[in-house]
C-alpha cells in the first residue's frame, strides 16, 4: 500500500472555477443547429451524452464567450438531481457552452492532470464533500467557493498519470458490464409493454378466433368481444369538495392515480383545495393537459383531484383494473391525442366531448378480471428479473466507486508499474 498523498484545496491547483448561464430568452434561444449548449443532463460519469443536446446561434455564442468549454476542462454538475456527476472534455467535443448548472473546472496542468482530477471528483473522498457541502448550504446546490474548498489528494504528476491509466482501464470494463445490464433492463421494459398491450387488446387465449375491430388503433380483437364508445361506458363525475380535506390525488403517465403525499412534487400547490373534484375509488381520472402523454388511470383511492382534471364513473360492465391497464397503453394515448384539442402537441387538451368519442374494446367482465390477474402474474416475474438486474448494476457502480476511491487514497500498490 502506498501512502496517501497530501491533500490540497482544489482552488490552489486549478486556473478556473466557474459556470455558464441561461442564454437571453431562455429556451426560446435554442435553435435546431449551431453551437452546442450543454446542460446538466448531458454530463455523465462516463462522458458527455449529446443525444439530446440543444443548440444556440452564433450571436448568442458570442454573447456567452466566457462560458465556452475547452478540451481537458472538467465539468461538474452543481445543482439538481444529477449533483456531483462529472466528466472531462475530450478533444473530439465540438465548440460548446454550458448553462448555470454546470461548473467548469480548468486544471493547472503543472499541478494536477485533468484526467486525474476527473477521477478524484468521482471518488467517495470528494463525493462525500459534495453532498456535505450541498446539505449545509442555504441554497439548492453548490457555490464556486464550496467547490474551490474541496480537499483533493495531490500525488506527483507521474503517479497521477498512473492512477488515471489504471482507473480508466478498470472503469471501461465495469462500465461495459453496467451498459449490458442497462440494455437488459430496456428489453425487460419493452417486453412488459408488449405483454400488457397484447393482453389488453387480444386477450390471453392464443387460440381464440379474431375479427377486425373496425378501429385502426385497435386492429384485430377476439371475435366475442364488443366495442363501445366511451359515452356509453362512462359518465362524468363533477362533484366538488366542500372542505378540501379529502386526500389529494395526482395523475401521471408513469404511476397513474396516486396520493400526492406519496410523490415528490415540486409544482405550485394551491392555498386551498376547496372546490376540488371528488374522485371515488374505481373512477377514471384524466389529466386533461397531459392526456396525450397517457396521464390517466383508475383510482384505488377516495380523494380529490385538481378542478382541471376530468373524472369519469365507469359502468358496471367494466372491471377497474382492465380500464386502468387499457388507458395507460401507448396506443390508447395516441388515440386519445386524436380527439384532443389544441394547436401545439404540447398544449393539447382532452375534454369530455373528445373522450366520449373514443371507441374501446369491451371483453366479458370475467375475462377482463382474468386479463388483469394474468398481467399481474406475468409482470411480477419481470419485476423480479428487473430487481436482480438493478441490484447487479448497483453492485457494479459501488465497485466502480470503491475502485476509484482506493486508487486516489493510496490503497493500491505498484500502479506506476501496472
Q: What is the dihedral of CA 267, 271, 275, 278, to 10 degrees?
A: 50
Give residue 418's pLDDT.
Answer: 45
Residue 7's closest CA among 125, 110, 88, 118?
A: 125
> Under DSSP, is residue 54 helix (H, G, I), strand (E, B) or coil?
strand
**Between the CA of residue 28 and those of 10, 35, 54, 63, 114, what are the distances in Å?**
36, 15, 11, 16, 34
Contact status, residue 294 vs residue 253, Cβ threshold 8 Å: yes
Give residue 209's pLDDT.
Answer: 96
What is the separation of C-alpha 382 from the centre of its chain, rounded to a whole number of angstroms?
20
Cα separation, 258 vs 192, whole angstroms: 21
Give residue 417's pLDDT.
Answer: 44
What sections of 94-142 are H helices per DSSP? 114-122, 124-135
- Domains of the chain in start order, with CATH, are 7-154 (3.90.220.20), 156-203+364-418 (1.10.287), 210-362 (3.90.220.20)
Give residue 409's pLDDT.
Answer: 81
Residue 6's closest CA among 110, 159, 166, 114?
A: 159
Cα separation, 92 vs 47, whole angstroms: 12
Each residue's pLDDT tens digit in the chain (418 positions)?
455 678 899 999 999 999 888 887 777 778 888 888 889 999 998 888 988 888 888 888 888 888 889 999 999 999 888 899 999 998 888 888 888 999 999 999 999 999 999 999 999 889 999 888 765 444 568 999 999 999 999 999 999 999 999 998 988 899 899 999 999 999 999 999 999 999 999 999 999 999 999 999 999 999 999 999 999 999 999 999 999 899 999 998 888 999 988 766 545 566 788 999 999 999 999 999 899 989 999 999 999 999 999 999 999 999 999 999 999 999 999 999 999 998 676 678 999 999 999 999 999 999 999 999 999 999 999 999 999 999 999 999 889 888 888 888 877 655 554 4
Amino acid at each position: 500500500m502506498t501512502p496517501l498523498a497530501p491533500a490540497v484545496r482544489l482552488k490552489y491547483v486549478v486556473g478556473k472555477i466557474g459556470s455558464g448561464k441561461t442564454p437571453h430568452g431562455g429556451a426560446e434561444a435554442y435553435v435546431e443547429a449551431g453551437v452546442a449548449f450543454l446542460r446538466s443532463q448531458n454530463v455523465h460519469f462516463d462522458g458527455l451524452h449529446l443525444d439530446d443536446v440543444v443548440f444556440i446561434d452564433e450571436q448568442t455564442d458570442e454573447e456567452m464567450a466566457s462560458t465556452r468549454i475547452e478540451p481537458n476542462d472538467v465539468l461538474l454538475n452543481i445543482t439538481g438531481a444529477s449533483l456531483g456527476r462529472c466528466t472531462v472534455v475530450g478533444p473530439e467535443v465540438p465548440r460548446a457552452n454550458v448553462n448555470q448548472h454546470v461548473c467548469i473546472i480548468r486544471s493547472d496542468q503543472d499541478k494536477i492532470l485533468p484526467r486525474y482530477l476527473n477521477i478524484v471528483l468521482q471518488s467517495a473522498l470528494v463525493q462525500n464533500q459534495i453532498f456535505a457541502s450541498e446539505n449545509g448550504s442555504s441554497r439548492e446546490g453548490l457555490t464556486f467557493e464550496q467547490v474551490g474548498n474541496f480537499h483533493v489528494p495531490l500525488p506527483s504528476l507521474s503517479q497521477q498519470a498512473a492512477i488515471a491509466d489504471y482507473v480508466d482501464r478498470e472503469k471501461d470494463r465495469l462500465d461495459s458490464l453496467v451498459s449490458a445490464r442497462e440494455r437488459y433492463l430496456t428489453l425487460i421494459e419493452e417486453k412488459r409493454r408488449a405483454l400488457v398491450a397484447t393482453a389488453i387488446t387480444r386477450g390471453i387465449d392464443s387460440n381464440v378466433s379474431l375479427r377486425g375491430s373496425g378501429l385502426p388503433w385497435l386492429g384485430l380483437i377476439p371475435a366475442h368481444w364488443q366495442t363501445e364508445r366511451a359515452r356509453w361506458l362512462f359518465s362524468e363525475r363533477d362533484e366538488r369538495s366542500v372542505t378540501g380535506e379529502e386526500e389529494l390525488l395526482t395523475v401521471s403517465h408513469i404511476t397513474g392515480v396516486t396520493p400526492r403525499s406519496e410523490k415528490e412534487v415540486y409544482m405550485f400547490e394551491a392555498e386551498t383545495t376547496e372546490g376540488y373534484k371528488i374522485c371515488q375509488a374505481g373512477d377514471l381520472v384524466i389529466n386533461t393537459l397531459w392526456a396525450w402523454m397517457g396521464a390517466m388511470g383508475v383510482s384505488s383511492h377516495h380523494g380529490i383531484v385538481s378542478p382541471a382534471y376530468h373524472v369519469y364513473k365507469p359502468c358496471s360492465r367494466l372491471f377497474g383494473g382492465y380500464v386502468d391497464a387499457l388507458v395507460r397503453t401507448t396506443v390508447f394515448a395516441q388515440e386519445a391525442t386524436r380527439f384532443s384539442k389544441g394547436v401545439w402537441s404540447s398544449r393539447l387538451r382532452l375534454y369530455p366531448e373528445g373522450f366520449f368519442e373514443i371507441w374501446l374494446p369491451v371483453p366479458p367482465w370475467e375475462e377482463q378480471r382474468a386479463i388483469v390477474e394474468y398481467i399481474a402474474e406475468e409482470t411480477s416475474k419481470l419485476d423480479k428479473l428487473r430487481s436482480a438486474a438493478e441490484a447487479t448494476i448497483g453492485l457494479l457502480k459501488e465497485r466502480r466507486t470503491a475502485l476509484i476511491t482506493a486508487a486516489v487514497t493510496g490503497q493500491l500498490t505498484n500502479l506506476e508499474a501496472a
